[in-house]
A and B are shown apart, each in its own frame.
Chain A
Amino acid sequence: MQVTSPAFKQNATRALADVTLQKAMKNVETGFIAKRAKAAEALPEFEALRDAARDLKTHVLKHLDLYLEAYEKKVIASGGHVHWAESAEDARRIVTDICKRLGARTVTKGKSMITEEIALNDHLEKEGLIPVETDLGEYIIQLRGEHPSHIIAPAVHLTKEQVAGDFRRVHTHLDAGRDLTEPVTLLSEARAVLREKFLLADVGITGANFLVAETGTSIIVTNEGNGDLTQTLPKAHVVVASIEKIVPTLEDVDTLLRVLARSATGQEMSVYTTFSTGPRRDGDPDGPGEYHVVLLDNGRSAMLGTEFEEMLRCIRCGACMNHCPVYQQIGGHAYGWVYPGPMGAVLTPTLVGVDKAGHLPNASTLCGRCESVCPMRIPLPKMMRAWRNREWERALNPAALRTGLGLWASVATRPALYRLAARAASLGMRLLGRGGRIARLPFFAAGWTANRDMPAPEGATFMDQWKAKGGRSA
């Protein structure tokens, strides 16, 4: 997909003014946060499990090459095929080749962020195939020609009225007078339409939440059951997964599963957790005839050994964005690429370049809520700061910001000048204040008060008060 991250500021401004989006985004605040808190509280071992999950993934990243080799061996032994892809382009070609060899036409898809990352649908369409998203949220946004705005709730930016409108526009074979006012009728309609696609599909493509080195198993976690129908019914099941999804053993998977759903939707466990190992066996009455895994690097190996390595622990639960005050206000599309919110602010610059995505790690107050809820204890604010540093080193920030910060630094390193300037600013701001609040700042500072006011200083500067109270100044 096209990267619109460079236009983050315009995207965000538009999002803030979008009344429908603002209405839809309220659901994130009221839904996910309370549910996660309740689930975490209901499990006394939850915090200890987060530590264990962190340590587990840290161990995997130290031995990633060896676990990948072990995993590959087991997949082959169970009759499956492993394809290695260095880039998005390689992965797309591998998937298309499999589809073409099988003479496929309809391709069903389980929800998968990795296939969003490699823009697989566009590619399949260009190759004459018909990709059908089967997760309800993904199906809705596919109808709209949009991309997911959230990694686990792709259509969270939409209201039910918008969905009803899309269904009427696309499902023209259905009675035009039908009632679509309630989510339940929308769900039934999607179920009926997609059921036909499931039975028609030649190839089913899913992502993987985890890959198990011990057994050569891929795991998907869903609530709808669409991923299972996607992978069970067609001739071939193609798993597209990035290399860091590897987990050593089934017991290690248990640890991650115990934090995944709780952090994501606040469920104790998702409805369907499916462990797939190879194709249909002798005597099996169902299941795919072929089983393929595409192992994708796409920039991940380059994160190893850098200050961004810890990002590879991410299990894509979405808790960081659910709890992010910035994400809650602007939604996922404003971030301009596949991964939004705090995890996107760290990952996007890595994968598309900080020159394009530099705004993202800056769109944070560094309040730390993301890190406080991350089941893998990824230090997201620290990594956003690291991106800011890199941006600064590479002089990618706007000239005004660089000049301003340079000016501030030269004043801040001269104590007498700094105190004088602080006194002047404090006095000036008191003069601007009305009833204790400042509604509008002048000149270059006007942007700050465009969407908010601020309290006026109440008295002398801290340094002056300190002195007056007999404290010693350095």
Chain B
Amino acid sequence: MNARDAILGKIRRARVVGDDAARRATVTDRLAAHRPGIVPARGEGDAAHRLALFLEMADKVSASTERLASADDVPAAVARYLRSKNLPQAIRRGIDPRLAGLPFDREPQLTVAVGPSDGHDLAGLSHAFAGVAETGTVVLVSGADNPTTLNFLPEHHLVVVRASEIAGNYEAVWARVRAEWGAGEMPRAINWITGPSRSGDIEQTILLGAHGPRSLHLLVVDDG
């Protein structure tokens, strides 16, 4: 007997199952229905409430935030951020059309590299799939548009979030993921990011920038 059958056999014997068809129906139903459990009330409310809560929660986890009237303001905001941190005017992004179409030429000093990071970039720019007001979380999706390496290797991660895509809670994000990829399907990686990297492993002192970015800067575009 192979290990798979041995383990499943042990589970079945231990669980002394009754009606197998009923058990199967229960499981099939639960997987297909994916009903939400208890969803915290704090995320409920209109777009203005979700935006305000998102900004508040992001601040609590030491992410910095900046509101922009239009996506066209992103290049200037990137340049400003890099200057404020005394960083070279260089950033790396993926091929996301929502970023590629931005007027980076308005910032002649700014060098924009495109593609995944090999670990030598100081700053990365991504476009979020969604924001989550409940905990000030940004949701990023793997792929050429927004390479996963940009989320973790650069010391500074700048993320564009559309105000209209800030969900109240995680459940609303899953609904969008299913609409985009299909029921039961997922992109290779979904990264929920809630604040910059940190560690409390030495004497429980919380320090930012353990392995991932030391700072997370969220550019919230008012597109509502």
Interface residues of A (CB under 8 A from B): 24, 27-28, 30-32, 43-45, 48-49, 52, 56, 59, 61-70, 72, 74, 78, 84-86, 90, 134-137, 140, 153-156, 158-160, 163, 183-184, 186-187, 191, 194-195, 198-199, 213-217, 223-226, 228-229, 232-233, 243, 248-252, 254-255, 257-258, 265, 267-281, 283-287, 295, 297, 301-302, 304-306
A356 CB, nearest partner CB in chain B, Å: 23
Q: Is B7 in contact with A84, judged by CB distance below 8 angstroms? A: yes
Q: Nearest B residue to A231 by beta-carbon distance?
A: B189
Are A213 and B31 CB-contacts (below 8 A) given A84-B3, A287-B148? yes
Which chain A residues lie closer than 8 Å to B187 at the CB level?
277, 281
Most A Cβ at <10 Å: residue of B15, B24, B189: B189
Chain B interface extent, by class: 35 or more
Q: Is B204 in contact with A156, judged by CB distance below 8 angstroms? A: yes
Query: Within residues 188 to 224 of chain B, which ones have a CB less than 8 A from any CB in chain A?
Result: 188-205, 207, 209-213
Q: Is B194 in contact with A155, judged by CB distance below 8 angstroms? A: no
Determine the main DSSP class of B at the interface with A: loop
Which chain B residues lie closer than 8 Å to A251 at the CB level?
34-37, 171, 174
Q: Is A224 in contact with B188, judged by CB distance below 8 angstroms? A: no
Q: Is B207 in contact with A184, judged by CB distance below 8 angstroms? A: yes
Are A136 and B210 CB-contacts (below 8 A) given A251-B174, A280-B188? yes
Q: Is B14 in contact with A305, judged by CB distance below 8 angstroms? A: yes
Bound together, the chains give a CA A66 to CA B24 distance in angstroms of 7
Q: Is B27 in contact with A224, judged by CB distance below 8 angstroms? A: no
Query: What are 20 of the A-B contact pairs (CB < 8 Å)?
Result: A27-B203, A31-B200, A52-B37, A135-B201, A136-B210, A160-B205, A224-B211, A224-B212, A225-B212, A229-B153, A232-B148, A251-B171, A254-B36, A271-B195, A271-B196, A272-B194, A274-B192, A281-B188, A283-B143, A304-B15
With an 8 A cutoff between CB atoms, is B84 at the interface?
no
Which chain B residues lie closer than 8 Å to A248 at the CB level?
27, 30-31, 34
Which chain A residues lie closer than 8 Å to B27 at the CB level?
63, 66-67, 70, 213, 248
A297 CB, nearest partner CB in chain B, Å: 5
Which chain A residues lie closer than 8 Å to B168 at the CB level?
none
Q: Is A183 in contact with B189, judged by CB distance below 8 angstroms? A: no
Q: Is B147 in contact with A223, judged by CB distance below 8 angstroms? A: no
With an 8 A cutoff between CB atoms, is B8 at the interface?
yes
Q: Is B191 in contact with A228, judged by CB distance below 8 angstroms? A: yes
Q: Which 9 A-B pairs have the closest CB atoms?
A: A225-B212, A224-B210, A137-B201, A304-B14, A301-B10, A249-B34, A273-B192, A31-B204, A84-B3
Which chain B residues lie closer than 8 Å to A69 at the CB level?
8
Q: Nearest B residue to A46 by beta-carbon distance?
A: B40
Q: Is B116 in contact with A272, judged by CB distance below 8 angstroms? A: no
**How does the 8 Å CB contact mask read for B148-185 relative to A, with 1 for contact and 0 for none?**
11011100000000000000011100100100000011
Give the contacting residue for A277; candidates B26, B186, B191; CB below 8 A: B186
Q: Is B210 in contact with A187, judged by CB distance below 8 angstroms? A: yes
Bound together, the chains give a CA A135 to CA B175 distance in angstroms of 33
Q: Is A285 in contact with B189, judged by CB distance below 8 angstroms? A: no
A163 CB, nearest partner CB in chain B, Å: 6
With an 8 A cutoff between CB atoms, is B144 at the interface?
yes
Which chain A residues lie closer than 8 Å to B213 at the CB level?
225
Q: Nearest A residue to B62 by beta-carbon distance?
A: A271
Which chain B residues lie closer than 8 Å to A276 at the CB level?
188-189
Which chain B residues lie closer than 8 Å to A215 at the CB level?
184-186
Which chain B residues lie closer than 8 Å to A255 at the CB level?
37-38
With an 8 A cutoff between CB atoms, is B137 at the interface?
yes
Task: Give me 6 other A-B pairs in contact (C-beta within 8 A), A187-B207, A252-B37 excluded.
Answer: A64-B11, A140-B202, A254-B36, A257-B170, A284-B143, A286-B148
Which chain A residues lie closer than 8 Å to B16 at the CB level?
305
Q: Nearest B residue to A86 by beta-carbon distance?
A: B3
Query: Within residues 33 to 55 of chain B, which ones have a CB less than 8 A from any CB in chain A?
Result: 34-42
Give the contacting residue for B40; candidates A43, A249, A267, A274; CB below 8 A: A43
Are A183 and B171 CB-contacts (below 8 A) given A286-B149, A304-B11? no
Which chain A residues lie closer than 8 Å to B201 at the CB level?
135-137, 140, 153-155
